[in-house]
Amino acid sequence: MPGPLNGIVVVDLTRVLAGPFCTMLLADLGAEVIKIERPDGGDDSRAFGPFVQGESAYFMSINRGKKSATLNLKHPQGKELLQALVAKADILVENFKPGVMDRLGLGYAALSALNPRLIYAASSGFGQTGPYSDRPAYDLIIQGMGGLMSITGPDARHPTKVGSSIADIFAGVFTTIGILAALHARAKTGRGQLVDVGMLDCMAAILENAVARYVATGTDPQPIGNRHPSIAPFATFTTADGAINLAIGNDELWKKFCGLVGAPALADDPRYATNPLRVQHWADLEIDLNKILAGRTTAAWLELFQAKGIPSGPINSISQVLADAHILARQMLVEVSHPTAGPMKIPGVPIKLSATPAEVLGPAPLLGQHNAEIWGARLGRSPEAIATLKSQGVI
Given 43, 90, 168, 288, the catalytic residue: 168
Residue 239 gets which letter from DSSP? -
Residues 276-335 that bind a copy of itself (CB under 8 A): 306, 311-322, 324-327, 329-330, 332-333
Note whether 54 binds a copy of itself by CB under 8 A: no
CB of 111 to a copy of itself, least distance (A): 13
Residue 202 touching a copy of itself (CB under 8 A):
yes
Binding mask 240-269 for a copy of itself (x = CB under 8 A): ---x-x-x-x--------------------
51 phi, psi to nearest 5 deg: -115, 150
Q: How far apart are CA 34 and CA 358, in angstroms?
A: 18
Cβ-based nearer residue to a copy of itself, 77 or 245 = 245
Is the C-alpha dihedral spanning 37, 42, 48, 52 positive or negative? Answer: positive
For residue 354, the number of C-alpha atoms closer than 13 Å in the C-beta half-sphere is 0
Among 9, 110, 183, 304, the residue binding a copy of itself under the rule CB under 8 A is 183
- Binding to a copy of itself (CB under 8 A) within 333-372 occurs at 333, 344-356, 358
Note whether 189 binds a copy of itself by CB under 8 A. yes
3-state secondary structure of 161: coil
Is 244 in a helix, a strand, or coil? strand
- 168 flagged as catalytic: yes
Out of 10, 86, 142, 389, the residue judged to bind a copy of itself by CB under 8 A: 142
Closest by Cα among 20, 22, 95 to 58: 20
Of 42 and 198, CB closest to a copy of itself: 198
Instruction: Identify which of residues 163 and 270 has a Cβ nearer to a copy of itself in the complex.
Output: 163
**Stretches 66-74, 98-106, 169-177, 277-285: which one binds a copy of itself (CB under 8 A)?**
169-177
| Structural contact between residues 349 and 37, judged by C-beta atoms closer than 8 angstroms | no
CB nearer to a copy of itself: pick between 69 and 346: 346
355: CB partners within 8 A, 6+ apart: 1
Contact at 8 Å (CB) between 365 and 63?
yes
Pick 235 or 386: Cβ nearer a copy of itself: 235
What single DSSP character describes residue 307?
Answer: H
So which residues are the catalytic ones?
A: 168
